[in-house]
Amino acid sequence: MRWTTASKATALLSALLLAATGINAQAAKLQVDLDSPESIKKAAKMVAANLISYYHGDEPGATPGILPGPPPGGPYYWWQAGAMWGTYVDYWFYTGDDTYNDRAMQSMVFQADAPVNAYMPPNWTASLGNDDQGFWGMAAMLAAEVNFPNPPKDQPQWLALAQAVFNTQVARWETDYCNGGLRWQVEHTNGGYDYKNTIANGVFLNIASRLARYTNNETYAKWVDTTWDWMNGVGYITKDYDVLDGGHIPFNCTDLNPVQFSANPAILIHAAGIMYNYTNGEEKWRARVAGLLNRTVEHFFPDGIMVERACELEDRVQCNVDQHSFKGYMHRALATVAVVAPFTFNDVTRVLRSSTKGAVSSCLADGTCGFRWNTGAYDEDVSHGPAGQQMSALAALSTMLIEQQRVLNGPLTNKTGGTSQGDPNAGQKFQGLKPPREITAGDKAGAAIVTVLVLASFVGSVVWMGMGWSESS
């Protein structure tokens, strides 16, 4: 082909325009150097500012602590605000930025609901699950573990709030159905009351493990063993460390729902890591940490970038508002595991780094982040509550600052510098902690009684998977 002067000029202009377009496209993305703590902090600050824009609880006439909702008043259920404040507590811990501390403190104290202070506010009874209460309790427990500024002395304290959640949930543990376990929902009028699921029991186990380590009280640890053995016995945790969603009481919890959401193994691996640390490396907890880690990375981090496999499909995303926030819980949990179970450190930090690179690639220059992390671009997914996407990206960035000494020192205890004051009887008129009964062979064999129920289990699982994991289910 012969090039004329005009065609050369046109080609040059086209090249310049293409280059300019490329530069603009690149500039439109969030720029982060994951080898630079200052760069990470700068990016995290932008994402944190974007996330807080969805919160209006500090405005005149609004309710402190909650995100807009529940539907139809807004996309978010009560529990997700508890998860958000926990994300901000971690954000402060990793970055040192205290911009949101006052709002976090006000929210976590207000929503505890005095005078019981157990995160069971009557306004949320119609949608209150044990997992909902537990997410607020885990945020309070985190505040104690990282010495988040303590509330005034006339207000409930972080450790006491976590203990209140634990105590009220112990009182709801039942053996009449499925030989143990907590129901998903607290009130019998709520949909899902007949479902005993992993997330409700997982958050209970998680709080118990952290209370055991923080207070050095073996009674909490016994409840961890009891809950783990029950979940294992009914088949929610498989021999290959798949973590299934739950089962229904009418079927003796044997109609196993095989769907795997990342929030479940995240909560469990966090607790297992805490127990490994608390027991000074007990072999059973080492094996559980290793098993969960290997399976979690294999299933949820294909190509090193996190994917919510149950609902984030190659050709479409069918994740609901709740599920859009799950990636952040996994990143935060794994970062803690890397510290409390040091034998995992290299494997965990490697996958967190590659996954965070994916998360960053989904963010725009103003700190607006998408849900899909494996496409290399912002996905414009705003139809399912953008706060979840922001929480996940903020968690991913924050945990990239893991190699600070105060982080590597591990979650604090009351003997290693933790200052939060507790109350073993918090949450109710409670006459001391009630030790659990021993798990029997019958408990552990519960998952084996499935032959007659195979068809019912299959149909129930398909229906449940179609409904999704959310309060609206």
What is the tens place of the pLDDT at every residue in 217-227? 999 999 999 99
**Res. 23: pLDDT tops 70:** no
Q: What is the pLDDT of residue 104?
A: 98
Residue the block writes with tokens 């949820």: 300
Number of alpha carbons in the 13 Å side-chain half-sphere of residue 348: 29
The arithmetic mean of pLDDT across residues 197-213, rounded, is 98
Q: Per residue in 227-276, pLDDT tens? A: 999 999 999 999 999 999 999 999 999 999 999 999 999 999 999 999 99
113 vs 64: CA distance, rounded Å: 11
Average pLDDT, the chain: 89
Q: Tell me if 409 sits within 8 A of 146, measured CB to CB.
A: no
What whole-number distance in Å separates Cα of residue 264 and Cα of residue 203? 9
Confidence of residue 418 (pLDDT cuts 50, 70, 90): very high
What pLDDT digit, counting tens, does each position of 118-154 carry?
999 998 888 899 999 999 999 999 999 999 999 999 9
Termini Cα distance of the chain? 65
Calculate the CA 152 to chain-centre distance. 28
Give the model's pLDDT for residue 102: 98
What is the topology classification, in CATH, of domain 40-419+448-467? Glycosyltransferase (1.50.10)
Nearest CA to 272 out of 314, 232, 217 is that of: 232
For 313-362, write each residue's pLDDT tens digit.
Answer: 999 999 999 999 999 999 999 999 999 999 999 999 999 999 999 999 99
Over residues 399-414, the mean pLDDT reads 97
Q: What is the mean pLDDT of residues 202-207?
A: 98
The contacts of residue 388 (CB under 8 Å, 6+ apart) are 80, 321, 322, 323, 324, 325, 326, 328, 371
pLDDT at 95 over 90: yes
Report CA 377 to chain centroid distance, whole Å: 24
**Alpha-carbon span 299 to 291, nearest angstrom:** 12
- Return the pLDDT at 3: 35
DSSP assignments along 10-69, one per residue: HHHHHHHHHHHHHHHHHHTBPP--TT-HHHHHHHHHHHHHHHHTT--TTSTTPPTT--S-
Q: For position 439, what pLDDT does the model report?
A: 55
